[in-house]
Amino acid sequence: MSTTTATLEQQLAWIAVDWGSSNLRAWGLNEHDQVITQATSDKGMLSLKADEYEAELLRLVGDWLPTTGQTDVLVCGMAGARQGWLEAAYLPVPTRLDQLSQGAVTPTLSGDQLRVYLLPGLSQTRSTATHFDVMRGEETQLAGLVADSPDFTGLACLPGTHAKWATLKAGAVSGFSTYLTGELYQLLANKSVLRHSIGSDKLQDPVCRETFIAAVSEIYAAPETFSSRLFGLRAQDLLDGRLPTGDTRGAVLAARLSGLAIGLELAGACRECPTDKPIMLIGNQTLSQRYTLALNTIGHQAQHMDGDAAVLAGLRLAHQSLKAANC
């Protein structure tokens, strides 16, 4: 063990951290920006006060640190929110994704082993678009997308509780929209009158897959019917003699609800975007597969980038631009 630690200390060049609302992930990287160690914790922003972040970070990465000198720590996500460690003010769009580090803030630390940079989120106001929006954490995943192609142009989607759609032009975010899709699904499935009908979704089941596709099509064609189709789902459970019984029944209705929620999102996000260029999905594989199926249903192609790989690539890009600025 002591050999490994010694090697780690010698190799460690800097630390990347994705510090979200409910957990954090830290990676130790060498001078070639390769991951040599990693750690996770459930101490997200929601469970920490501002003066508890430094101790939590040291608890997690203290063993990685060399005995002398200062180690850079690049942090994205909710640690930079107003209610987090220290506020890194939103950068207004349009913002080049290779310049996020220009908005980083450095909290004052009690020790001198670390130099922490909290990266900013992005904001959009009525002066730059038709509606207000914010993101914090996702911008670093988007930066990961442009790390290998600095002038990337296209549409990117980050599925999730609050799904983000960003329009990228020559490496800059020109505008974005957040859809409440994941949260709407959870509220409706667990807290509304539909909870009596919704089971566990199983998209691999052919009948669920078919139901999901049909629901995406229906709501994409007529988004104004969203609210009535929600109640219709409950009525279908009461009236439709053709529905399967047992667990499959709840799974089919869950697939329908998922299709309605994602279809509404696509109706808002994809109506006016060209179909000749694939939409870049950034996130976990399961959710990205579901989105790919939905996008294919309405005539769009999709590519997938792993969410963890994206955030790490984005933090690398930010670290490189910080080093370049400090030279």
Q: Measured from the CB of residue 199, what is the shortest distance to its own copies in angstroms? A: 18
Q: Measured from the CB of residue 175, what is the shortest distance to its own copies in angstroms? A: 11
Q: Which is nearer to its own copies, 100 or 262 (CB)?
A: 262
Q: Measured from the CB of residue 162, what is the shortest distance to its own copies in angstroms? A: 6
Print the binding letters for residues 148-167 with its own copies: x by CB under 8 A, - otherwise. --------------x-----
Q: Measured from the CB of residue 198, what is the shortest distance to its own copies in angstroms? A: 14
Q: Which is nearer to its own copies, 228 or 301 (CB)?
A: 228
Q: Measured from the CB of residue 13, what is the shortest distance to its own copies in angstroms? A: 36
Out of 59, 271, 277, 323, the only residue in the binding site for its own copies (CB under 8 A) is 271
Quick check: 312 and 26 in contact, CB under 8 A?
A: no
Given the rule CB under 8 A, which of 10-18, 22-30, 72-80, 188-196 is the region that contacts its own copies? 188-196
Print the binding letters for residues 199-238 with its own copies: x by CB under 8 A, - otherwise. ------------------------xxxxxxxxxx--xx-x
What is the contact surface with its own copies in residues (CB under 8 A)?
Answer: 90, 123-126, 131-134, 162, 177-181, 183-184, 187-188, 191-193, 223-232, 235-236, 238-240, 261, 264-265, 267-269, 271
